[in-house]
Amino acid sequence: MTIRSTTVAVVGAGPAGLVLAHLLRRAGLDVTVHERLTRSALEGAARAGVLEHRVVEYLRRLGLADRLTAEGERHGRCEISCLGEEVTVDYGALSGGARHWVYPQQLLVRDLVDRYLADGGTIAFGSPVEAVVPDAAGRPVLRTPDGELRAAYAVGCDGAHGVVAAAFPDGAEGPGRRYPYDWLTVLARIDRPVAAVRYAVHADGFAGMMPRTADVGRFYLEVPAGERLEGWDADRIRAALVHRLGLGGAAPVPGELLETGVLRMRGRVARRMRHGRLLLAGDAAHTVTPSGAKGLNSAVADAADLAGALPAALDGDDGALDGYQRRRLEAAWRTQEFSDRLLDLLHLPAGLPPEQREFALRLRLERIRRIAAPGPEGAAFARDYAGAGELAGPGVWPPAQRSAVASRTTAR
């Protein structure tokens, strides 16, 4: 059996794993990345597509956002319709200038992979980690198709059912919520670009339309919890989208359906993100619904924080990783609260009788008007929604790491 060794083993080459690997290598650490998917499958999987202001600024500072900022689109407003009234929320203005970037996640992953390999890093594609077990000293040993990989630390960036989380004694369990509805998800051809995110608060159920590319849009439809896709053919999906979103006129209209699915709406946060030398980041530690587009962004924020904590721990700072866990769990709960609050705005209570729906819709319309208006409530929503502020960067990292990153980025 082949036995290899590394300082940090990163499991999963999604945004969290790739950003973390980039930064740890820049800090001079030996990093090994394992990804269960092939490269083509990883870079072809359509997922999220909205990046927060602070995440893009962070990637830009590190020289990892060149194609994103050249090819992505900035959006600073969303539209919310309710009871026939369409309210524009200019969150770019309300937040003081923070706006989203629309750039499909698979393109961001492609860019991060390209740059990582160009910088001399390696990624074991199509190489799933089968198990993680401790050695006699408590250091993680990863069992892979290529033999054993021994590491000082292992970081799970491999999703909610990842192998690193499974190695926690409690499986990294934590509180969660199963929402009383699901979302039917659709990727569809459109006849014109989506100018702004559109949400529909409707008596028949929520619907959403999100920009992706010039000729493709992402759509959502609220369906009953446990709904099966077989009950929704293409004509029924298109009719429901047009009806609930009020599409027509200058609005894009969905044509060919490229991809459909049903998203089981759940939120969860692990009780901890560290067990000894095992660490979690992104969906491996916390799963958030698509409401507010926070999943990808939270994952990158985890990586940014951990990229400072791990070198500090290796330099003897015993509290660095506990600090990472504390900060990121607090952030995860703030993110869950925002997503849950937005869901409550966009959906009527489950099981509400038809004669009470107008009352519930009018209450929501009042809330929509308030978050669209200048003032403290609108500003707070806008900043949370757009991801205003900054992620931890080189200025707050340990001196050795700060100089390593600074020399690398200023050389570009």
Distance CA 403, CA 281 (A): 25
Active-site residue identified among 199, 220, 286, 324: 199
Amino acid at 251: A
Residue 170: φ, ψ to 5°: -105, 10
CA dihedral 370, 373, 379, 384 (to 10 degrees): 60
58 catalytically annotated: no
Catalytic pick from 290, 324, 347, 394?
A: 290
Catalytic residue (choose from 22, 34, 53, 75): 75
Dihedral angle of Cα 384, 385, 386, 391, to the nearest 10 degrees: 40
Of residues 408, 387, 388, the one with CA closest to residue 397 = 408
Considering 294, 324, 347, 394, which one is annotated as catalytic? 294
Q: Which residue has the tokens 């569809």?
A: 188
From the list 58, 91, 179, 385, the catalytic residue is: 385
Paired tokens of 76: 């600073």
- CA distances 98 to 75, 294, 298, 379, Å, are 9, 15, 17, 11
Residue 100 bears catalytic tag: no
Residues 6+ apart with CB under 8 A from 249: none
Is 199 a catalytic site residue? yes
Residue 103 is a catalytic residue? no
179 is catalytic: no
Q: Which residues are catalytic?
A: 75, 199, 290, 294, 385
